[in-house]
Amino acid sequence: MRSACTGRAFVAASAARQKECPMAARTICRFGLIARSSARLRCRGRPLAIDMSAAMTHDPARSDSASSYAHALRACVGSLQALARPTATVFYRIDASGEPVDFELFGMTAAMHRAYVSRYRPLDPLHPARCASQPGAVVTLASQLPDERRDASSYWTGFLRRHGVADVVEVLLRDGGAPVAAFSLLRLAGGGRYSAAEIAALHAVQPVVEVALLPPLRAVRGIRRIACDVRLTHREEQIARLVRDGRSNKAIARDLALGQPTVKTHLLRMFRKLGVSNRTELVGALFL
Bridge partners (DSSP) of residue 183 are 91, 171
Evaluate if residue 55 carries a pLDDT over 50.
no
Give the per-residue pLDDT at 68: 83
Domain count, the chain: 2
Residues 195 and 268 in one domain: no
Question: Backbone phi, then psi, for 183, in 5-degree steps?
Answer: -110, 130
Evaluate if residue 99 carries a pLDDT over 90.
no
Residues 214 and 239 in one domain: no
The identity of residue 195, as a single letter, is S
Evaluate if residue 40 carries a pLDDT over 90.
no
Among 202, 219, 236, where does a domain finish?
219
Which CATH number is 8's domain given? 3.30.450.40
Residues 161 and 238 in one domain: no
Q: What is the pLDDT of residues 205-233, one digit of tens each?
A: 999 999 999 998 898 887 776 665 567 88
Among 219, 237, 252, where does a domain finish?
219
Residues 188 and 60 in one domain: yes
The identity of residue 103, as a single letter, is F
Residues 245 and 185 in one domain: no
Residues 63 and 153 in one domain: yes
Least confident of 113-122, 200-209, 229-238: 229-238
Give the per-residue pLDDT at 264: 94
Q: What is the pLDDT of residues 234-262, one digit of tens each?
A: 888 889 888 888 889 999 999 888 999 99
Evaluate if residue 80 carries a pLDDT over 60.
yes
Q: Identify the residue with better confidence: 68 or 81.
A: 81
Q: What whole-number distance in Å separates Cα of residue 204 and Cα of residue 218?
A: 23
Residues in Cβ contact with 189 at an 8 Å cutoff, skipping those fewer than 6 apart = 164, 165, 166
Residues 137 and 251 in one domain: no
Q: What is the 3-state secondary structure (H, E, C) of 113-174?
A: HHHHHHHHHHHCCCCHHHHCCCCCCEEEHHHHCCHHHHCCCHHHHHHHCCCCEEEEEEEEEE
- Domain residue limits at 19: 2-219
